[in-house]
Amino acid sequence: MSWSEIALICVSVVLVVIVLLWIITLTKNKGKDSDKKVDDYEIIDGVRYTKDDKVLDDKGKVKLSLKKGDIMLERGKNYKVGKDLLVGKYTVLSADENVDAVSMRVGGIVKDYKHYSSIVLTEGDVISALSSNVILR
């Protein structure tokens, strides 16, 4: 075996180790947010905190705006807090500009939530939008 073959084998082994370490690092960090902050919400110790933006225009009418980090709840679909959503305080926004209040089921209780009202979700709650699609910010 010549020196060039030995060098080629060593370089190959080092390259394989680097690729394996890179794959392991990617899989470990897959579920984590790198900086724990995206636009208008912040995650601290697994709890989501919302920074509210203006969602009403100057005349007090609904101004619909979908931003990065917003969560769209489809009408009739159940979402579990802790699995599909993070625990925390959210702002309820109607996905339809013509609707001032939306009907939602949170933890088995059906209630109407006005556009731009706040809601606190705890671990294990099941939430679903009943009357129309809802945006959680």
Q: Are residues 23 and 87 in the same domain?
A: no
Q: Are residues 11 and 46 in the same domain?
A: no
86 phi/psi in degrees, rounded to 5? -85, 155
Q: Are residues 6 and 73 in the same domain?
A: no
Q: Are residues 18 and 73 in the same domain?
A: no
- Report pLDDT digits (tens) over 1-12: 788 889 999 999
Q: Are residues 70 and 98 in the same domain?
A: yes
Q: Are residues 107 and 58 in the same domain?
A: yes
Q: Are residues 123 and 71 in the same domain?
A: yes
> By C-alpha distance, which of 125, 98, 123, 103 is closest to 113?
103
Say how far apart CA 46 and CA 103 lie, in whole Å.
27
Q: Are residues 96 and 57 in the same domain?
A: yes
Say how far apart CA 84 and CA 65 lie, in whole Å.
22
Q: Are residues 13 and 41 in the same domain?
A: no
Name the one residue in this structure whose structure tokens are 């995206």. Answer: 38
Which residues of the chain have a pLDDT value below 50? Answer: 34-38
Which pLDDT score, from 0 to 100, does residue 36 have? 43
Which pLDDT score, from 0 to 100, does residue 35 have? 45
Q: Are residues 9 and 44 in the same domain?
A: no
Q: Are residues 14 and 52 in the same domain?
A: no
Sequence-ordered list of residues with C-beta below 8 angstroms from that of 114, at least 6 positions apart, any chain = 92, 100, 101
3-state class (DSSP) for residue 57: coil
Name the one residue in this structure whose structure tokens are 């917003």. Answer: 70
Which pLDDT score, from 0 to 100, does residue 63 have? 56
Which pLDDT score, from 0 to 100, does residue 37 have? 42
Domain hosting residue 27, numbered range: 1-32
Q: How many domains does the chain have?
A: 2
Q: Are residues 48 and 114 in the same domain?
A: yes
Which pLDDT score, from 0 to 100, does residue 28 have? 81
